[in-house]
Amino acid sequence: MIEPQIPCPRCGSFTSVEKVFCVRCGSRVIPLTEYDLTASDFIYPPDESALESFREFKPLSPLINELILKRYVRALFSRLEGGLAEISLSSEVGSIIRECGIILGLRSLPRSYLLKSDKPLAFTFGTGKSDYLFLSSGLLDLLDDRELRAAIGHELGHVKCGHSIYHTIAGVLTSGIELSLGLMGGALSSISSPMLRLMLLSWHRDSEISADRAGLIVANDPGKVISLLRKLHREPPEPGELLGEILSTHPTYEDRVKRVSEYYRSADYHAVKRKVERRLRLSKALSPVCRFCGGSKPLTSIFCPSCGRSQL
Ligand SMILES: [Zn+2]
Ligand SMILES: [Zn+2]
Ligand SMILES: [Zn+2]
């Protein structure tokens, strides 16, 4: 048996097909298929309808400007710098990120960083086109393996649902007026920013419920999601801290536990679980090259047209 390698469509480096994502840049090397999860398989319905209305809400569109958001992302980076190290996708934590990305069917993996801080922190932000995941060293110390999966699954759930751009806008709006005005320029003066802020903050709670569902999907154990929530809930963010205000708009611990437990018992969750199991079972077959003869094959076909062997 050979270990077929294919070039990454973004950076060109060769990755073995079973890794699904390029270990260098996080791009998908195996395209998404009908077997992969979609956001609508698990998204919390009020979150989905809020996202639809954001997309239609005209005053928001000048804010969804890649340039403005990139400047904000850069400003956040410069504040974090010093205590940051990029997480390699071939490291232990990197392989958990990859596995979560396979289960959730991400289009590409966010660039991931380890933040040196005793506080247990996990957050994502970005523009939707480029997303960033941050995990703190305090978080890695506090969580066991399955809780860490649930935490990473939660963050990647935000990416999968397309939350990052709106979280970033909310971050811009709550990060201090000088920063917001400086970055947003004229865009903000044309709309009522307190209204926008309220809208984004109230949606934020619903977006957390979708992300908790994603955490449950990858951990497949409500006990681990609940112990993760309990551990993180002991550490309320300080007001005025980076992203503190956004974090404080999370639903209460009790509410999140209740909703995760309800979702775990639902028919929707069981359907998602079956879909994930089937996707993982088919992993060896979902490839553009045969794992025996290296010849090219249709992405989803189980038998190789050249050598006739089953990929499973
Ligand atoms: Zn790449
Ligand atoms: Zn979250
Ligand atoms: Zn073959």
- Exposed (0-12), middle (13-18) or buried (19+): which is 132, by Cβ within 10 Å? buried
DSSP 252-283: PHHHHHHHHHHHHHSHHHHHHHHHHHHHHHTT
13 pLDDT tier (thresholds 50, 70, 90): very high
The amino acid sitting at 61 is S
- CA angle 38-150-37, nearest 5°? 10
Centroid of ligand 3 to alpha carbon of 299 (angstroms) = 13
Ligand whose nearest atom lies closest to the CA of 11: 1
Phi and psi based region of residue 243 (left: phi greater than 0; alpha: psi -120 to 50; beta: remaining)? left
Ligand whose nearest atom lies closest to the CA of 309: 3
Centroid of ligand 3 to alpha carbon of 310 (angstroms) = 8
Ligand whose nearest atom lies closest to the CA of 20: 1
Ligand whose nearest atom lies closest to the CA of 294: 3
Q: Which two tokens stand for residue 147?
A: 């809780």
Centroid of ligand 2 to alpha carbon of 218 (angstroms) = 15
Query: 23 vs 8, 86, 97, 153, 217, CA distance in Å?
Result: 9, 13, 11, 18, 23
SS (H, E, C) 81-146: CCCEEECCCCCHHHHHHHHHHHHHCCCECCEEEEECCCCCCEEEEECCCCEEEEEEHHHHHHCCHH
Distance from C-alpha of 29 to C-alpha of 26, rounded to nearest angstrom: 9
Mean pLDDT over the full length of the chain: 85
pTM for the full predicted model:
0.88
- Exposed (0-12), middle (13-18) or buried (19+): which is 197, by Cβ within 10 Å? middle
Centroid of ligand 1 to alpha carbon of 33 (angstroms) = 19
- Summarised one tens digit per residue, pLDDT across range 31-42 is 999 999 999 999
Distance from C-alpha of 111 to C-alpha of 131, rounded to nearest angstrom: 6
Centroid of ligand 1 to alpha carbon of 270 (angstroms) = 34
- Summarised one tens digit per residue, pLDDT across range 244-298 is 444 455 677 888 999 999 999 999 999 999 999 999 999 999 999 999 999 999 9
Q: Is 228 within 8 Å of 150 (Cβ atoms)?
A: yes
- Summarised one tens digit per residue, pLDDT across range 83-141 is 889 999 999 999 999 999 999 999 999 999 999 988 898 988 887 788 999 999 999 99
C-alpha closest to that of 170 among 70, 95, 69: 69
